[in-house]
């Protein structure tokens, strides 16, 4: 598998020699990082030249709190948990745009998979070209990324919310979206319709999962 991925990487580097693309092989998977402006060109080549005929997944990613943790879970079991939270104790500054779109592609003919990632530069209004013209299955995936992450896909024929309702405020998968949400809804028997009200749930700190090393999987020297 490693040789196959390395061969594929070499072929991609030859095909896209004129483009600035980053390549990385880790955990038996090949990931390529493409500029948002080149997403259509690269997608068409991956489908037509390299036989990645199937888009199996597409999602948006928010890197605003990337590599940041609120708990030291490795040492928490020895000292006990407190109800307080120390924000950003493991924060590492990563100079990347906040939003990215990740594509998972499958080549049935060659029995290969590849991950493609494109960062979206504009944080205020993240936008990238739709790949529906390349893979029709991107239709609902892009609607989901728009709904939950707020990423706009230029050229999408029907870009509207797919999981939340029309009056929903915000995008639930963004890191700054509150866990309890902005509003709650209930059925009003007097008005005979569903109404929206401010959230009445008080936020609370949850106890994190403890990470313990399992001796069965410790590699002995």
Chain segment 124-178, per-residue pLDDT in tens: 899 999 999 999 999 999 999 999 999 999 999 999 999 988 778 889 999 988 8
CB neighbourhood size of 213 (10 A) = 8
Please check the confidence at residue 60 and state whether its pLDDT lies above 90: yes
Would 174 be classed as within a structural domain?
no
- Residue 83 has a pLDDT of 47
- The two tokens of residue 30 are 């090949």
Would 89 be classed as within a structural domain?
no
φ and ψ at 70, to 5 degrees?
Answer: -105, -5
CA atoms within 13 A on the CB side of 63: 18
Q: How far apart are CA 144 and CA 88, in angstroms?
A: 29
Contacts 24+ apart (CB under 8 A), 176-183: 176/64, 178/203, 179/203
Would 188 be classed as within a structural domain?
no
- Model confidence at 28, pLDDT cuts 50, 70, 90, reads confident
- Residue 169 has a pLDDT of 82
CB of 25 within 8 A of CB of 74? no
- Residue 207 has a pLDDT of 61
Please give the angle made by the CA atoms of 173, 98 and 144, to the nearest 5 degrees. Answer: 35
CATH at 50: 3.30.460.80
C-alpha Rg value of the chain to the nearest Å: 22
- Residue 66 has a pLDDT of 80
- Residue 42 has a pLDDT of 98
Please check the confidence at residue 120 and state whether its pLDDT lies above 70: yes
- The two tokens of residue 177 are 């979206």
- The two tokens of residue 178 are 């509150």
Would 152 be classed as within a structural domain?
yes
| % of residues, the chain, pLDDT over 70 | 78
pLDDT tens-place string over residues 71-117: 555 555 555 555 445 555 555 556 788 999 999 999 999 999 999 99
| % of residues, the chain, pLDDT over 90 | 58
Would 160 be classed as within a structural domain?
yes
Q: How far apart are CA 213 and CA 157, in angstroms?
A: 49
Please check the confidence at residue 201 and state whether its pLDDT lies above 90: no
> Between residues 183 and 220, which one has the greater pLDDT?
183
- Residue 209 has a pLDDT of 61
Would 90 be classed as within a structural domain?
no
pTM: 0.79
**Report for 32-46, 174-188, 203-217: range of highest mean pLDDT:** 32-46
Residue 107's domain comprises: 2-63+98-165
**What pairs with residue 9 in β-bridges?**
none
- Residue 36 has a pLDDT of 96
Q: How far apart are CA 200 and CA 103, in angstroms?
A: 38
The count of domains in the chain is 1
Would 177 be classed as within a structural domain?
no
Would 41 be classed as within a structural domain?
yes
* Three-state secondary structure call for residue 198: strand
């Amino acid at each position: 598998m490693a040789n196959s991925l390395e061969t594929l990487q070499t072929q991609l580097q030859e095909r896209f020699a004129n483009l600035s693309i980053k390549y990385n092989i880790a955990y038996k998977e090949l990931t390529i990082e493409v500029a948002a402006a080149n997403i259509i060109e690269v997608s068409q080549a991956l489908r037509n030249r390299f036989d990645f005929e199937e888009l199996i997944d597409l999602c948006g990613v928010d890197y605003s709190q990337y590599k940041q943790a609120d708990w030291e879970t490795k040492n928490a079991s020895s000292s006990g948990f407190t109800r307080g939270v120390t924000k950003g104790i493991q924060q590492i500054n990563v100079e990347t745009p906040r939003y990215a779109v990740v594509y998972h592609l499958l080549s049935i003919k060659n029995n290969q998979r590849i991950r493609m990632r494109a960062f979206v530069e504009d944080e205020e209004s993240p936008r990238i070209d739709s790949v529906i013209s390349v893979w029709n299955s991107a239709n609902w995936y892009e609607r989901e990324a728009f709904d939950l992450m707020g990423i706009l896909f230029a050229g999408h024929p029907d870009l509207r919310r797919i999981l939340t309702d029309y009056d929903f405020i915000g995008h639930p998968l963004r890191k700054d979206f509150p866990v309890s949400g902005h509003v709650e809804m209930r059925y009003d028997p007097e008005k005979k319709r569903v109404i929206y009200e401010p959230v009445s749930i008080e936020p609370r700190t949850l106890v994190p999962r403890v990470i313990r090393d399992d001796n069965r999987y410790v590699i002995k020297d």
